[in-house]
Chain A
């Protein structure tokens, strides 16, 4: 929706102008742009793409195409492979082959995680002020004692890890 609004803002004239400029050099017929024509694509689920891979054949390849019109048993193996390569870019095996991209990605991820870590360390050292007094050892011990007195989480939590008879943490 928004894209069409922008289109009307820019004005139909400016976008078609460039095509029209070129058209006037060719007796008024606009040459079809590449992106408007059917395209070749290497996809598993598209076994026969809309066009052959090689669009403009060399003289040698055109001769081969002529030979293709005759009996195929006359073609050598190399010629058959050449005909295949004219029609297709990659074989299914080549297309489906995995890459080593994951190593690059993993490396990049770790690198930036490390960089973030450096930033955090710098921040802790140079930027942040002292932590609240409620994190001191004394306060934490008093806090834990109060939690145990209140029997916080007595079934599976902190009070379950404390031995109330021996007054120590359970082993």
Chain B
């Protein structure tokens, strides 16, 4: 009963800090960093003209038919 609010507040402040920091860290290292790496890897070997020719040959462009 003594310091009821203080105890509760300390517990919840600490908990809130830990939970938010943990979720931010998990997101950063679980989602954000892998995504950045995936994009970097993709664009290292990306040739837009070759990609365009493949897509054109497949016939998906209305203004650039495959013939």
Contact = CB atoms under 8 A, between A and B. Distances in A.
Say whether A associates with B. yes
B1 A150 contact: no
A92, A150, A164: most-surrounded residue (chain B CB, <10 A): A150
* Size band of the interface chain B makes with A: 10 to 19
Interface in A97-121: none
B32 interface: no
Interface in A28-61: 44-45, 47
A150 B38 contact: no
A118 to B, nearest CB: 37
Q: Tell me whether chain A's interface is mostly helix, strand or loop, or mixed.
A: loop
16 contacts: A44-B1, A44-B4, A45-B4, A92-B1, A149-B60, A150-B55, A150-B58, A150-B60, A151-B51, A151-B55, A154-B42, A155-B39, A156-B35, A160-B38, A160-B42, A164-B54
A28 to B, nearest CB: 46
A156 B35 CA distance: 8
Interface residues of A, number: 13
A47 to B, nearest CB: 6
Contacts of B38: 155-156, 160
B59 interface: yes
Given A47-B1, A146-B60, A149-B59, 9 more contacts: A44-B1, A45-B4, A149-B60, A150-B55, A150-B58, A151-B51, A155-B42, A160-B38, A160-B42
Contacts of A151: 51, 55
